[in-house]
Amino acid sequence: MIALKHISRLYRSDEIETTALLDVNLSINRGEFVAIMGPSGCGKSTLLNILGTIDRPTTGAYMFEGADLATMSEAGLAEHRANHLGFIFQSFNLVDDLTIRENIELGLLYRKNLSGSRKAMVEEAMDQVGIAHRARHYPHQLSGGQQQRAAIARAIVGAPSLLLADEPTGNLDSENGHQVMEILKSLNAGGVTVIMVTHSQSQADQASRVVNILDGRMVLSVNRVPA
């Protein structure tokens, strides 16, 4: 599904040059659940943002089912994101003045060729994460765990093939973190490829593969389950 080839990402400001990623080579098959681990500042979010095409590598190729996304036009990338990708963040990133239902509808905003009616797809996504009873509430009226489940519904409402999660349980207590993991695992069992940044060894132990990053380099990739 995915092949990163010699991916590097440099950040340049007036005086400082930071190498966020250096010569990363990584292939991911459809259906994998990949956990990305490493110390703070090692490049995990940079890697996830490149996988999500919200950042571009400085050098290298990003092949996604045969197309090189590293050099694709912005319009092409926008369509790619709308049709293939879902994102979840540590801080939920819900829109404060929209209801939960409206937030989830945002996940369909740029999606063309919907598989069903907009309304039915939103209902199904809410049911999948157990948030339907809060459809008319606003984000601030929900607990952190409920907000993250709503954010997952927004990410999956368009039926993405790849779900990217940057420390999705980082702001949650262990019970809510556990619920989020269970949802991600059931989505993965249903065929969605999941790539998740985590600091939790017990979560990484539930992934099918663990990728370790250190100082912008991929230092280890361990298959826990035969891919």
Q: Give 45 or 148: the residue with its C-beta nearer to ligand ADP.
A: 45
Counting contacts by CB under 5 A, is residue 46 touching Mg ion?
Answer: no
Counting contacts by CB under 6 A, is residue 214 touching ligand ADP?
Answer: no
In whole angstroms, give the CA distance from residue 21 to residue 6: 10
The least CB distance from residue 40 to ligand ADP, in Å, is 5
Q: Of 128-157, which residues contact ligand ADP (CB under 6 A)?
A: none
Span from 37-45, 59-67, 119-127, 143-151 in contact with ligand ADP (CB under 6 A): 37-45
| One-letter amino acid of 178 | H
Counting contacts by CB under 5 A, is residue 198 touching Mg ion?
Answer: no
Going by C-alpha positions, the residue among 147, 174, 156 that lies closest to residue 91 is 147
Counting contacts by CB under 6 A, is residue 40 touching ligand ADP?
Answer: yes
| One-letter amino acid of 110 | Y
Counting contacts by CB under 6 A, is residue 117 touching ligand ADP?
Answer: no
Pick from 7, 37, 42, 211: which binds ligand ADP (CB under 6 A)? 42
- 20 makes contact, choosing from ligand ADP, Mg ion, none, with CB < 5 to 8 Å by partner type, with ligand ADP
Q: How many residues bind Mg ion (CB under 5 A)?
A: 2
Span from 35-43, 96-104, 113-121, 200-208 in contact with ligand ADP (CB under 6 A): 35-43
Phi-psi region of 152 (alpha: psi -120 to 50; beta: other; left: phi over 0): alpha
- Chain residues that interact with Mg ion, rule: CB under 5 A: 44-45
- Chain residues that interact with ligand ADP, rule: CB under 6 A: 11, 18, 20, 38, 40-46
